[in-house]
């Protein structure tokens, strides 16, 4: 934050440094190993009295001088120039804290230059003994240069006690100093042998050429054994955090370590064996392959070392965005603009938002990302995110994907960067407004309290069943809405009827063929294990059928009806109507009612993962959104879901992640579905209001579904009153998973902080331990304004509101009060009648049945506060 950074929009700073550094490091290591090669080979020529070997060394020396002194010196200066422009803050630390080390190294480098110049220009003009002494001096100075530089650059990965003391020697003698020195020295000798193969190939005398090729092969093969030993030592010497980053957390290094290095080692040894056994068969292409492998070896090591530092420039001291770790909280609170001296704007406004966003992108993102270009182009890596998705990504950055640093700035600055990135990717800056519905006309069945003998009540067990609908891509929730009903014979003491009566149902005609709108039945066998005919549900029920008797609840049930919100005219309606009739065995009609079946496909996935709605610009997961989700899952979890889709086997989430709702056992080592999806997203969506819930669930008035519509809404009770904030909701699920011994739970929990202490969040199982009504209600007095059911979980599924009955163990609570999230009186833009069909049909006003003393099942007048079902709160 003290310095501006050089920015080339299409090329990241890391790539520029890498291009310069790899070239220089390759030459520098060759310079060290080459010194030993020259002097040892010269001695070999004299010892064997072979003038051809001596001539070869002399020719090799000229090439060596030009490469190491000229190219090496220029790229060395280039390194300092490049890092000074692209990472000035970290460069400043290296210069100021390790000035003594650099001064010492420059003395050794001067010794290298002098010794090599003498060695080259006095070759054959001074005594053999003195010439070899000069060669040994060069080799010594070169090694000492490596010795000093190794201490400084290993400090950046494993600073050890330097973080506390800032002492030169604590940084220099860091935990990986010795294994890194051994590993680098082995690489130095191997590179010298590889270059020797190239120059030996040009020897005219066939006998000498064969001899020197074999000699060069040994110069590669013998140090390779040292490389293997020191590489293992190096990995084992890494502290736990860096070790985990190299072998687990980084997006690239685990593959490089586990695949590339062993593969290239086998290839290297195979080629060397061929060259040693048949040196006359060596060809330039083979030599070129050897050099490429050698460069790949050292390049891989440098990449692994750099990746191990992520997300830091100096591990534990300075983020890769050049912000000192000690200033993290201050920058988050006050914003980066308050600290970045080279950015003119000091606050984000509507007028400068894009300009500030670009400046902050330069500071925090350009060290690793180019806008386009070959290395982590942001227009590719973030292509699947919307502006809102980019902002949430920045909010959670560094928590779970720990090779990335946290975004250091406040909410306004996150929004500025997301606006800038969305603009350059031609994405809209604002969410598209939802299609707001109009009131739906509902014709209520006729009812006369004076003449009717029966009351028929029907309800959907869920106030809103939200399902995925793009089964060609993946299945997040299977279709299936369960409808319950109770039939009452009216009287002074009403009677619940379950015998000698048949209850039937039928969906509106325009919603009777969902197979015309979704592809679920194409995959029903693989998703459910059943051969389901079109328009048939999981319980093998159709959209016109007969209820079964639910003896336990003294009710009727139509199980898992395959209702979708798509009408045959192409419109989206989340509340299709079901007509329910009760008849005697001989067909006499006893009672009729209707019930809205709340069903939505208006998941908010597209809010972050981009894409349009699939149906009528209103609902459904589009192919683009689904593909973005699958690509993200594959990238993060290293799965092959996209490949499965291409093979015609789209996945079901619960096939891997267990779910009590669907009955899928999943894979025992993986988190349950609800815990996995909420646990992950809670690290990115951290708004402590119901806005976070509404970004995914179609609950609010700003959606087409408007699923949260019950009496709680009128009392300003939101999702978080019952389920807790996103963090608390996720923690309750994750703690239950942790108790099952699933290590991933602790990983997702690490950065989640509830409003209360973490220990006070009680574990629960999704769809089983839901909020208990008694957490707020005791039926003696109204709950407090800030009452909360968080941590008051039902002990088992039978204790859920949808399964509970009155104190007589007779009438189901939902029969009179309506479904969860849609308690009477419910209201949204679809109209009062649609959301309160039972009370509007039987008592002509929207309220729980029996309100104001008008219980519709009783034929005698009832006192307002006289109820056998449960105590009534006195107002």
The four Cα atoms 516, 518, 522, 523 give a dihedral, to 10 degrees, of -160
If asked whether residues 269 and 399 sit together in one domain, one would say no
Asked whether the predicted pLDDT for residue 690 surpasses 70, the reply is yes
Report how far residue 611's alpha carbon sits from residue 632's, in angstroms, rounded to the nearest whole number. 14
If asked whether residues 60 and 83 sit together in one domain, one would say yes
At 825 the pLDDT is 95
Residues 6+ away with beta carbon under 8 Å from 284? 201
At 873 the pLDDT is 64
The least confident of 482-486, 728-732, 861-865 is: 861-865
Residue 498 lies in a domain: no
At 467 the pLDDT is 94
Give bridge partners of residue 460 from the DSSP assignment: 483
Asked whether the predicted pLDDT for residue 668 surpasses 90, the reply is yes
If asked whether residues 104 and 190 sit together in one domain, one would say yes
Residue 535 lies in a domain: no
Q: What is the pLDDT of residues 544-562, one digit of tens each?
A: 999 999 999 999 999 999 9
At 850 the pLDDT is 87
Hey, which of 371-375, 616-620, 787-791, 794-798 has the most confident mean pLDDT?
616-620
Q: How would residue 290 be classed by pLDDT, with cut points 50, 70 and 90? A: confident
If asked whether residues 216 and 247 sit together in one domain, one would say yes
If asked whether residues 310 and 366 sit together in one domain, one would say no
| For residues 297-303, average pLDDT | 74
Report how far residue 5's alpha carbon sits from residue 321's, in angstroms, rounded to the nearest whole number. 10
| For residues 205-229, average pLDDT | 88
Residue 68 lies in a domain: yes
Report how far residue 457's alpha carbon sits from residue 811's, in angstroms, rounded to the nearest whole number. 10
Q: How would residue 1 be classed by pLDDT, with cut points 50, 70 and 90? A: low
Domain stops at, among 287, 318, 349: 318
If asked whether residues 32 and 139 sit together in one domain, one would say yes
Range(s) of the domain holding residue 379: 321-387+395-424
Q: How would residue 866 be classed by pLDDT, with cut points 50, 70 and 90? A: low
Residue 527 lies in a domain: no
Q: What is the reported pTM? A: 0.88
At 541 the pLDDT is 94
Residue 726 lies in a domain: no
CB 709 within 8 A of CB 828: yes
If asked whether residues 126 and 31 sit together in one domain, one would say yes
Residue 221 lies in a domain: yes
Report how far residue 377's alpha carbon sits from residue 511's, in angstroms, rounded to the nearest whole number. 46
Report how far residue 166's alpha carbon sits from residue 839's, in angstroms, rounded to the nearest whole number. 74
The b-or-e profile of 98-121 (16+ CB within 10 A means b, else e) is beebbeebeebbebbeebbebbbe
If asked whether residues 305 and 346 sit together in one domain, one would say no
| For residues 836-850, average pLDDT | 94
| For residues 6-23, average pLDDT | 80
Q: What is the pLDDT of residues 461-490, one digit of tens each?
A: 999 999 999 999 999 999 999 999 999 999
Residue 56 lies in a domain: yes
Asked whether the predicted pLDDT for residue 525 surpasses 80, the reply is yes
Task: Choose between 403 and 587: higher pLDDT.
Answer: 587
If asked whether residues 327 and 189 sit together in one domain, one would say no
Strands 577-583 and 589-596: antiparallel
Q: Total structural domains in the chain?
A: 2
Report how far residue 197's alpha carbon sits from residue 366's, in angstroms, rounded to the nearest whole number. 40
If asked whether residues 310 and 347 sit together in one domain, one would say no
Report how far residue 309's alpha carbon sits from residue 242's, in angstroms, rounded to the nearest whole number. 7
Q: What is the pLDDT of residues 412-432, one digit of tens each?
A: 999 999 999 999 999 999 988
If asked whether residues 81 and 209 sit together in one domain, one would say yes
Token match 């519905």: residue?
437
Supply 428's token pair.
């809209």
Q: What is the pLDDT of residues 70-112, one digit of tens each?
A: 888 888 888 888 888 888 899 999 999 999 999 999 999 999 9
Q: What is the pLDDT of residues 128-167, one digit of tens each?
A: 999 999 999 999 999 999 999 999 999 999 999 999 999 9
CB 317 within 8 A of CB 403: no
Asked whether the predicted pLDDT for residue 510 surpasses 60, the reply is yes
Residue 146 lies in a domain: yes
Domain stops at, among 318, 336, 359: 318
Q: What is the pLDDT of residues 188-201, one digit of tens each?
A: 998 898 888 888 88
At 805 the pLDDT is 92
If asked whether residues 295 and 376 sit together in one domain, one would say no
Q: What is the pLDDT of residues 433-453, one digit of tens each?
A: 888 899 999 999 999 988 899
Domain stops at, among 277, 300, 318: 318
At 865 the pLDDT is 60
Asked whether the predicted pLDDT for residue 874 surpasses 60, the reply is no
């Amino acid at each position: 934050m003290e310095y501006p950074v050089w920015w080339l929009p299409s090329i990241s700073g890391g790539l520029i440094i890498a291009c310069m550094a790899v070239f220089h490091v390759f030459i520098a290591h060759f310079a060290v190993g080459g010194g030993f090669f020259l002097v040892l080979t010269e001695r070999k020529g004299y010892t064997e009295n072979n003038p051809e070997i001596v001539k070869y060394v002399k020719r090799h020396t000229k090439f060596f001088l030009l490469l190491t002194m000229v190219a090496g010196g220029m790229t060395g200066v280039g390194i300092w120039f490049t890092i000074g422009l692209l990472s000035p803050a970290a460069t400043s630390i290296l210069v100021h804290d390790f000035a003594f080390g650099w001064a010492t190294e420059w003395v050794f480098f001067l010794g290298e230059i002098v010794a090599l110049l003498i060695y080259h220009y006095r070759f054959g003009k001074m005594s053999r003994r003195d010439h070899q002494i000069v060669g040994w001096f060069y080799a010594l100075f070169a090694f000492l240069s490596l010795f000093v530089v190794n201490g400084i650059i290993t400090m950046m990965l494993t600073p050890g006690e330097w973080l506390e003391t800032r002492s030169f020697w604590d940084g220099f003698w860091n935990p990986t100093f010795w294994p890194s020195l051994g590993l680098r020295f082995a690489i130095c000798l191997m590179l010298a042998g590889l270059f020797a193969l190239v120059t030996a190939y040009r020897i005219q005398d066939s006998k000498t050429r064969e001899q020197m090729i074999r000699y060069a092969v040994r110069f590669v093969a013998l140090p390779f054994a040292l490389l293997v030993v020191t590489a293992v030592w190096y990995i084992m010497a890494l502290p736990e955090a860096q070790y985990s980053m190299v072998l687990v957390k980084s997006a690239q290094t685990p593959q490089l370590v586990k695949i590339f290095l062993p593969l290239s080692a086998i290839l290297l040894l195979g080629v060397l064996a061929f060259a040693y056994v048949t040196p006359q068969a060596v060809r330039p292409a083979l030599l070129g392959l050897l050099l490429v492998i050698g460069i790949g070896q050292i390049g891989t090591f440098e990449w692994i070392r750099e990746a191990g530092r992520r997300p830091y420039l100096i591990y534990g001291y300075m983020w890769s965005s050049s912000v000192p770790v000690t200033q993290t909280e201050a920058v988050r609170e006050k914003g980066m603009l308050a600290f970045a001296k080279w950015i003119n704007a000091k606050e984000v406004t509507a007028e400068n938002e894009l300009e500030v966003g670009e400046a902050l992108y330069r500071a925090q993102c350009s060290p690793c990302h180019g806008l386009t270009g070959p290395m982590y182009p942001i227009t590719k890596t973030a292509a699947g995110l919307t502006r809102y998705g980019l902002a949430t990504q920045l909010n959670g950055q560094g928590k779970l994907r720990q090779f990335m640093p946290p975004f250091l700035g406040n909410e306004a600055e996150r929004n500025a960067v997301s606006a800038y990135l969305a603009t350059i990717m031609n994405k809209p800056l604002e969410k598209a407004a939802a299609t707001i519905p109009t009131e739906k006309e509902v014709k209520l069945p006729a009812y006369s309290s004076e003449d009717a003998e029966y009351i028929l009540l029907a309800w959907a067990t869920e106030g809103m069943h939200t399902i995925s609908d793009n089964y060609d891509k993946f299945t997040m929730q299977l279709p299936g809405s369960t409808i319950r009903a109770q039939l009452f014979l009216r009287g002074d003491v009403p009677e619940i009827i379950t015998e000698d009566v048949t209850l039937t149902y039928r969906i509106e005609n325009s919603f009777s063929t969902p197979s015309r709108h979704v592809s679920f039945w194409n995959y029903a066998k693989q998703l459910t294990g059943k051969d389901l005919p079109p328009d048939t549900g999981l319980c093998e029920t159709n959209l016109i059928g007969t209820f079964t008797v639910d003896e336990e609840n003294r009710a009727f049930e139509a199980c898992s009806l395959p209702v979708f919100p798509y009408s045959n005219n192409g419109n989206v309606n989340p509340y299709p109507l079901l007509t329910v009739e009760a008849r005697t065995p001989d067909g006499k009609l006893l009672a009729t009612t209707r019930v809205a079946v709340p069903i939505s496909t208006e998941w908010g996935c597209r809010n972050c993962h981009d894409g349009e709605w699939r149906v009528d610009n209103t609902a459904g997961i589009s192919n683009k959104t689904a593909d973005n989700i699958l690509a993200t899952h594959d990238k993060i979890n290293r799965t092959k879901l996209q490949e499965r889709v291409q093979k015609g086997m789209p996945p079901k989430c619960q096939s891997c992640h267990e779910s009590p709702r669907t009955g899928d056992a999943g894979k025992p080592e993986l988190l349950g579905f609800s815990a996995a999806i909420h646990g992950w997203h809670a690290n990115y969506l951290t708004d402590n209001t119901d806005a976070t819930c509404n970004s995914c669930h179609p609950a609010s008035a700003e959606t087409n579904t408007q699923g949260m519509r019950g009496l709680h809404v009128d009392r300003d009770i939101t999702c978080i009153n019952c389920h807790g904030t996103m963090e608390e909701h996720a923690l309750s699920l994750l703690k239950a998973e942790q108790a099952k011994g699933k290590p991933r739970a602790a990983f997702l929990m690490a950065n989640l902080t509830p409003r209360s202490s973490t220990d006070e969040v009680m574990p629960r199982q999704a769809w089983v331990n839901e909020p208990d009504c008694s957490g707020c209600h005791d039926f003696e007095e109204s709950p407090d304004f800030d009452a909360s059911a968080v941590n008051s979980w039902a002990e088992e599924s039978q204790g859920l509101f949808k399964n509970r009955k009155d104190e007589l163990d007779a009438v189901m609570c939902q029969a009179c009060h309506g479904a969860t999230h849609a308690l009477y009186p419910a209201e949204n833009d679809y109209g009062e009648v649609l959301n309160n069909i039972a009370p509007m049909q039987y008592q002509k006003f929207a309220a729980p049945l029996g309100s104001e003393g008008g219980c519709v099942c009783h034929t005698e007048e009832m006192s307002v506060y006289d109820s056998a079902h449960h105590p009534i709160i006195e107002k």
